[in-house]
Chains A and B, each alone.
Chain A
Amino acid sequence: DAGVTQSPTHLIKTRGQQVTLRCSPKSGHDTVSWYQQALGQGPQFIFQYYEEEERQRGNFPDRFSGHQFPNYSSELNVNALLLGDSALYLCASSLMASGTDTQYFGPGTRLTVL
């Protein structure tokens, strides 16, 4: 039973560039949430996708956008990168029918913005 997978593992970008991160949910899950975890902090909710639509959004600017595909996988896009966007980006999956409280996290993508 495959868990949540994310790619790439690490990424280095420069200010102003754009980045796309990818996530495949745990087998049987249909909902994907994205979180940003700055060094030494707890994860912060970015947004959640279900049925290919954004259901809820945290306090993040429009530079952060996402997409969910028919196979439930998801992408996180960040435009016009800032130094402050350097963080571990986590994807979590859940099953809507059983409530989305129980979320399982992937290993994350470490983004460094220079």
Chain B
Amino acid sequence: QQQVKQSPQSLIVQKGGISIINCAYENTAFDYFPWYQQFPGKGPALLIAIRPDVSEKKEGRFTISFNKSAKQFSLHIMDSQPGDSATYFCAANSLGADKLIFGTGTRLQVFP
């Protein structure tokens, strides 16, 4: 029940295309859903996050879509660029739990 399932494991997108990464969860107590971007040899960097009171949040080229009834959320990267090539992790947390539960990651490659 504590798991966050992430797909796909890897994704290849052409420059200018849309990258979509999906996550699903079981624990209905989760109320915070961040996405992290990680480059090789670096720590995860917070990209964008959402709470269940909204269905979508957009920051620049990055958008989170959230479906509370389906217990799913996704990251959309518009106009994907080669510099977006990295591993992306979804995560979830519940109020007062203090620990982030991470998905298994998606390796994104954007080709020019």
**Contact indicator A100/B43 (Cβ below 8 Å):** no
Inter-chain CA distance A42–B105, complex, in Å, is 6
Interface stretch of the complex, out of B52-60, B63-71, B72-80, B95-103: B95-103
Q: Does any Cβ of A come within 8 Å of B42's Cβ?
A: yes
Interface residues of B (CB under 8 A from A): 6, 32, 34, 36, 41-46, 49, 89, 91, 93, 95, 97-105
Among residues of A, the one whose C-beta sits closest to the C-beta of B89 is A42
Answer whether A56 and B46 are a contact pair too, CB < 8 Å, given A42-B103, A102-B34: no
**Contact indicator A105/B99 (Cβ below 8 Å):** no
Contact of B105 among A40, A90, A99 (CB under 8 A): A40
**Contact indicator B104/A102 (Cβ below 8 Å):** no
Q: Does any Cβ of B come within 8 Å of A41's Cβ?
A: yes
User: How many residue-residue contacts, CB under 8 A, span A and B?
Assistant: 59
Contact of B98 among A4, A33, A44, A90 (CB under 8 A): A33
Contact of A90 among B32, B41, B43, B46 (CB under 8 A): B43
CB distance from A37 to the nearest CB of B (A): 8
Q: List 30 A-B contacts (CB under 8 A).
A: A4-B43, A6-B43, A33-B98, A33-B100, A41-B105, A42-B6, A42-B102, A42-B103, A42-B104, A43-B89, A43-B100, A43-B102, A45-B99, A45-B100, A45-B101, A48-B98, A56-B99, A58-B99, A99-B95, A101-B32, A101-B100, A102-B34, A102-B46, A105-B36, A105-B45, A107-B41, A107-B42, A107-B43, A108-B42, A108-B43
